[in-house]
Chain A
Amino acid sequence: MSLSKELIEQKLREKFSGENIVFTEYRDELTISFDKKVVVEVCRFLKDDDELQFKLCEDVTAIDWARRKNRFTVVYHIYSLKNNFRLSLKADVDESDCSIDSVSSIWKTANWEEREAYDMYGIKFNNHPDLRRMYMPEEFEYHPLRKDFPLMGIPGSNPLPKK
């Protein structure tokens, strides 16, 4: 018996009645967008609710929209092993306040995923236990997956290690 989209919608609307939560569906996948202030509460609710049980966090990443008002969107893909149901969560982040609360206290997986997103997009995750760069060296100043970072790289930005 799989989980119905209506049930998730109804539960979230009940719990977060004051918040602006948008439900969209594309190619049979449900996406929930909300304000970045409630990200921790929504995620904790989705994980801890007895009927939903989204216990597996598959992926945390971000999208750089380049010219939009809210430049970044942080995207979470979570999975409910109990219901065999995948859900995408989205929260917009603006460049002027480029930070969002970390969900690594809810899913331990998010630790590295958020570090990767920080490395690639420069989005700061508040309350993250160990926010270092994932792939690039610690001295690197740029964030490579931002749209304004050129494909060929910036010459001299990544110096060779000293002998």
Chain B
Amino acid sequence: MQKLTKEDVHPKIVQALLQDTDITVEDALENEMILNMGPQHPATHGVLRLLLRLDGETVIACVPELGYLHRGYEKMAENMTYYEFIPHTDRLDYLAPMANNVAWVLAVEKLAGIEAPPRAQYIRMMITELARIASHLVAIGAFAMDVGALTVFLWTLREREKILDIWDILCGARFTNSYTRIGGVANDAQPEALAKVKWFVDQYLENLDECERLLNTNRIFIERLEGIGVVTAEDAIDLGLTGPSLRGSGVEFDLRRSKPYMFYNEMDFKVITYPEGDSLARYFVRADETRESIKIINQILDKMPAGETLLNQPKKVLPKKTEIYSKMEELIHDFMIVNFGINPPEGEIYSAVENPKGELGFYLVSKGEGRPWKCKIRSPSFVNLQVVPHLVKGHMISDVVAIVGSIDPVMGEADK
């Protein structure tokens, strides 16, 4: 390993690292160490780069560097139609692509002033909750692996595999789904898919308990996380944390409850909070949230209405493929939507949903054209990462891994 010198770090980053200190750069590099963690570090969950100023093994300052996965999705969104952007939302939070698909189409529908039929909404709710379980399973598994409990990772990924199989039946793709459409979903949920969901929820809780027994009775796991990276409720709100990380600090904020979208207001579930605010609490919130998701999915399966899964609104919603081949009107609409877009009325909206990682918001500005004039992605991972420098201060270098794991960032989303 090469020692990092002053020339390797941009002067502005050095300046940020050396804030609140009167020692000079030369001194700092002499007495304290600046350690470069990432972007190719397995515990940073992607390409997150952290520059750490260390005194011995204690972290004095931390400066995260983002942008290694910056693909310019906001710029790309301005240059494509609303339909064309659906596959790109898969690549934001790639651990829960279905939830992103739903978030995007809800935003576009709000902008266009349309609403999908009830059955489509129920299917969307079901896939959002399944995506939440899948994402939390990876979060718990990877988190446990970061602090040294390898077995749990294999067990949680086994469970996630079953959800990917459901995606496979539902839309033909396991990973990058692009299942939703503006005004509905791509195809109705097949009976086999619903049967598989039913089977999954019936056996899931037992398997989760099994995973949890491995962790909750593991003294090393508990002691490495308890009291590590504590963030108070006030600080958490000030720093803009959302999702499980915020609820781990005891703040009862869940957009499914406070600003219900789809049919969440008809669902009976509990918003999980833990008051401690440390890394362990954030893990508990995630594990308990999957239980609530199971509860919601059970209600969805019971209540799911029959009917259409795509809105009949020819100017805004793509017609069915079979009709394009046989009817002239549909062919014209298909041509217009594919080539010129759906032209929502002039206006701007901000639509936010509760994603596994936190609040995923889309801010869309329309000028009445087929393409958005502006699309801002408010990604939870990006905002949540901002808390890392505040949390790691004063902790040991091995705690950095635990803290980043407990925030559960996905860099595809943080870098957009």
Contacts and interface: CB of A to CB of B under 8 A. Distances in A.
Interface string B327-363: 0000000000000000000011110100000010101
Contacts of A75: 363, 376
Interface string A51-85: 00001111101011000000000010100010010
B383 interface: yes
Given A26-B349, A29-B350, A81-B251, A151 B239 contact: no
B264 interface: no
Nearest to B257: A84
Interface size class of A (residues with CB under 8 A): 35 or more
Contacts of B373: 63
Nearest to A66: B373
Contacts of B191: none
B131 interface: no
B316 to A, nearest CB: 15
Given A58-B359, A108-B239, A26 B348 contact: yes
A58 B240 CA distance: 7
A134 interface: yes
Contact of A57 (B240, B347, B365): B240
Interface residues of B, number: 44
B75 interface: yes
A138 interface: yes
Interface string A30-61: 00000000000000000000000001111101
Contacts of B67: 133-137
Nearest to A132: B12
B374 interface: yes
Contacts, number: 96
B113 A58 contact: no
A88 B70 contact: no
A27 B347 contact: yes
Contact of A86 (B113, B240, B259): B259
A55 B350 contact: no
A90 B363 CA distance: 13
Nearest to A31: B348
A86 B238 contact: no
Contacts of B349: 26-27, 29
Contact of B415 (A86, A135, A144): A135
A130 B16 contact: yes
Given A109-B383, A135-B415, A77 B238 contact: no
A132 B67 CA distance: 12
Contact of B70 (A55, A109, A135, A151): A135
Nearest to B240: A109
B307 interface: no
B2 interface: no
B253 A81 contact: yes
B13 A132 contact: yes
A41 B60 CA distance: 34
A12 interface: no
Given A61-B363, A77-B363, 15 more contacts: A27-B111, A27-B347, A27-B349, A55-B238, A56-B242, A58-B350, A86-B352, A107-B238, A108-B238, A109-B240, A109-B383, A112-B383, A132-B12, A133-B67, A144-B72
29 contacts: A26-B347, A27-B110, A29-B349, A56-B242, A56-B253, A57-B240, A58-B352, A59-B350, A59-B361, A59-B378, A63-B365, A63-B374, A64-B374, A75-B376, A84-B259, A86-B259, A86-B352, A108-B386, A109-B238, A109-B383, A112-B382, A112-B385, A113-B383, A120-B74, A132-B13, A134-B67, A135-B66, A138-B12, A144-B72
